[in-house]
Structure 1
Amino acid sequence: MDYMRNELNTPLPKVYAWSCEADNPVRAEYIVMEKVAGVPLDDVWPKMDIEQRWEVTKAIAQHQQSWLTSTLPGYGSLYYTKDLHGQEIIPVEGVNGRYAIGPTTGRDWSDDSRLDGAEVIAYLQAIANREVQCINALERFPKSPVTLCGPGLFQPTRERKLQALQCYSKLLPFLAPLDRDLSKPCIWHGDLHVENIFVNPECPSEITSIIDWQATEVTPRFVQARQPHFLDYNGPKLAGLEMPRLTQNRDGLSSHEREKARALFNNQSLVAFYRMLVKAKAPELHRCFEVQQTPAFDLLLLARNLLVDGEATYLSSVVELAERWPEYLRERGVKDGNVDCPVHFTEGEKAAIEKDAQAAYEGIRAMAGIQDALGDMYPEYGVVKHDDYDEVKAMLRQVKEQVLAAYAKDGDEKAAWEEAWPFQD
Structure 2
Amino acid sequence: MNTARLSNGASHNDLFRYTSGRWVYNEPLRLAERHLEFDVFALKRIITATFDHPASDIVKFFKLSEGGYNRVFQANFADGKCVIARLPYPSTTPEQYTIASEAATLNYLRLHGICTPDVYAWSSTKENSVGAEYIIMEKLSGTPLGDKWYSMTPKEQYGVMKQIVELETRLMSLKFPACGSIYCQTDLPQEKNIPLSDENAGEFCLGPIAHYSWWHDERSTLNIDRGPFLSSTDIFRAVGDRELAWTKNYAKPRLPYERLYREIYDFSRVSPESHIGNLSDYLHMARCLGFKAGTSLDRPVMRHPDLQLSNILVSDSNEIVGLIDWQHCSILPLGLAAGIPKHFQNYGDPDSEQLKEPQLALPSDYDSLPDSEKICVRETFRKRLIHFLYAAFTKRMDEDHYDPIFDNSVILHQRLFKSAGSPWEGDSITLKADMVRAIQSWSTLSSTDCVGHGKATCSVPPVSYSEQVTRDTLKLDARQKEADVAMEQMQEVLGVDVLGWVPNDAYETAKKQAREMKNKMLEVAGTPSDVTGVQDHFPFDDFDETA
Is the pair's TM-score, using the shorter chain for normalization, greater than 0.5?
A: yes
Q: Secondary structure, in 3 states, of the residue corresponding to 2:120? A: strand
- Residue 349 of structure 2 is aligned to residue 223 of structure 1: no
Q: Does residue 283 of structure 2 align to residue 169 of structure 1?
A: yes
The one of 488, 504, 516 aligned to 1:386? 504
2:263 to 123, 147, 151: 151
Supply the AA of the counterpart residue of 1:236: D
Letter in 2 for 1:102: G
Q: Report the RMSD for the aligned CA atoms in angstroms.
A: 3.6
Structure 2 residue aligned with 1:272 = 388
Asked if structure 1 preserves the Cα contact closer than 8 Å seen for 2:297 and 2:449, the reply is no
Displacement of 1:32: 0.9
Q: Does 1:314 align with 2:314?
A: no
Structure 1 unaligned regions, length at least 5? none
Alignment partners' CA distance in 1, 2:340 and 2:447 = 29
The residue that corresponds to 1:194 in the other structure is: 309
| 1:403-418 map, 5 Å | 406=525, 409=528, 414=532, 418=536
CA 1:89/1:423 → structure 2, altered by over 3 Å: closer, same or farther? farther
Corresponding residue for 2:133?
29
Residue aligned with 1:171, SS? helix
SS in 2 for 1:148: helix
Q: Structure 1 residues 362 and 271, CA, compared in 2 at 3 Å: closer, same or farther?
A: closer
Greater CA drift, 394-403 or 156-165? 394-403
Partner residue, 1:368? 488
> How many Å apart are 1:399 and its aligned residue?
3.9
Instruction: Structure 2: state its 5+ residue gaps.
Output: 1-105, 223-228
SS at match of 2:301: strand
Q: Is the 8 A contact 1:152 1:408 kept in 2?
A: no
1:93 matched to 2:187: no
Moved more, 392-401 or 27-36: 392-401
> Given that residues 301 and 332 in structure 2 are in contact (C-alpha distance below 8 angstroms), is that contact kept between their aligned partners in structure 1?
yes
**Structure 1 position 151, deviation (Å):** 3.4
The code of the aligned residue for 1:82 comes to T
Structure 1: how far apart are the matches of 2:390 and 2:179?
27
Worse-matched range after superposition: 305-314 or 121-130: 305-314
SS at match of 1:55: helix
Q: Secondary structure at the match of 2:179?
A: coil
Q: 1:91 to 1:409 in 2, by over 3 A?
A: same
For residues 22-44 of structure 1, give each alpha carbon's deviation from its aligned partner in whole angstroms, at most 9, with x where no partner exists: 22121221111122211111122
Q: Does 2:401 align with 1:297?
A: no
In 2: Cα distance, 1:348 partner to 1:236 partner: 33
Letter in 1 for 2:321: T
Change (3 A) 1:247 1:398: same
Q: In 1, distance between residues paired with 2:251 and 2:108? A: 37
Residue 461 (structure 2) pairs with residue 341 (structure 1):
yes
Amino acid of the residue matched to residue 131 of structure 1? Answer: E
Distance in 2 (alpha carbons) for counterparts of 1:422 and 1:142: 16
The 10-residue stretch of structure 1 (413-422 or 320-329) with the greater mean CA deviation from structure 2: 413-422
Residue 144 of structure 2 corresponds to 40
The equivalent of 2:473 in structure 1 is: 353
The answer for the alignment partner of 1:181 in structure 2 is: 296
Question: Which residue matches 2:231?
Answer: 119
Check the 8 A contact 2:253/2:272 in 1, yes or no: no
1:295-326 deviation line (CA, Å, top 9, x unaligned)? 34322333221524754243234334434545
Q: How far 1:262 sits from its partner (Å)? A: 5.3
Q: Does the 8 Å contact 2:177/2:300 carry over to 1?
A: yes
Of residues 317, 325, 329, the one that matches 1:203 is: 317
Query: How far off is 1:221 after superposition?
Result: 1.7
Q: 1:417 & 1:130 partners in 2: Cα distance?
A: 36
Cα offsets for 1:17-64 (capped at 9, x unmatched): 100122212122111112221111112222222222222211111111
Correspondence for 2:118: 14
CA distance in 1, matches of 2:483, 2:526: 11
1:177-210 CA distance string (max 9 Å, x none):
447321221221031111111111x212x11221
Secondary structure in 1 matching 2:148? helix
Q: Percent identity?
A: 24
Q: Secondary structure at the match of 2:260?
A: coil
Deviates most, 325-334 or 65-74: 325-334
Name whichever of 16-25 and 294-303 sits farther off: 294-303
- After superposition, the Cα gap between the structure-2 partners of 1:410 and 1:300, relative to the gap in structure 1 and judged at 3 Å, is closer
Q: Distance in 2 between matches of 1:104 and 1:141?
A: 29
Cα 1:319–1:383 change in 2 (3 A) is same
Aligned pairs, number: 418
Q: Give the aligned partner of residue 239 of structure 1.
A: 353
- Partner Cα distance (1:305, 1:407) in 2: 34
Residue 107 (structure 1) aligned to one of 206, 212, 226: 212
Once structures 1 and 2 are overlaid, which stretch shifts more, 181-190 or 254-263? 254-263
CA distance in 2, matches of 1:362, 1:229: 21
What SS does structure 1 have at the residue aligned with 2:335? helix
| Contact 1:302/1:310 (8 A) holds in 2 | no
1:349–1:422 distance in 2 versus 1, CA, 3 Å:
farther
Distance 1:236 1:342, change over 3 A: same
Q: Is the 8 A contact 1:177 1:291 kept in 2?
A: no
Higher helix share: 1
3-state DSSP class of the match of 2:206?
strand
Q: Cα distance 1:101–1:252, how it changes in 2: closer, same or farther (>3 A)?
A: closer
